[in-house]
Amino acid sequence: MSETERTVEQQVYENIAARKYTDGYTPGVILVRQLVKAVEELAEALSHCRTAVQYTNLNTFIDEMDRVGQRARALFDNRMVWNLVRLTPGQRAALPEEIADVAIPLDVAAVVLGMDMSAAKLEKSAADVKRGVR
């Protein structure tokens, strides 16, 4: 496959790898760790969605997600945690469908925002390479 035939996902993966986020991890650990990362980022995105009216169910939920997002960040950064992670073939087999379910609402959000998701992912992940491991 030529450079131009690489999928957006492959190019994003390469940017994440260039940032050293995959170093020393098995593919299964990379997978679970990135799902934890997705929770952190989802909490960040939701933090921009609070309603003006305080104490709504949404705001309470976003506050809870803030705490979960902080836990996700700590977990992501804690190298000791990941040594014990092993996915069974059955667990792994269930994940493509769930990953698609995670991506679909984000695609809908991207359309609502009028953004080119592929371009944004490539641009953001490439720009983050120079930041290295935070």
- Taking the complex as a whole, the smallest distance from the CB of residue 44 to Mg ion amounts, in Å, to 4
Burial of 40 (0-12, 13-18, 19+ CB in 10 A): buried
Distance CA 53, CA 60 (A): 11
State in angstroms the smallest separation of the CB of 45 from Mg ion. 7
Closer residue to Mg ion in complex, CB, 29/46: 46
**Smallest gap from residue 131 Cβ to Mg ion (A):** 12
> Alpha-carbon distance 69 to 65, whole Å?
6
- Using CB under 5 A, which of 12, 42, 44, 106 touches Mg ion? 44
Would you give the binding string for Mg ion spanning residues 51-80, x where CB under 5 A is met?
------------------------------
128 counts as binding Mg ion under rule CB under 5 A? no
**Tokens standing for residue 64:** 């809870």
Cα angle value 100/78/103 (rounded, 5°): 10
Interacting residues toward Mg ion by CB under 5 A: 41, 44
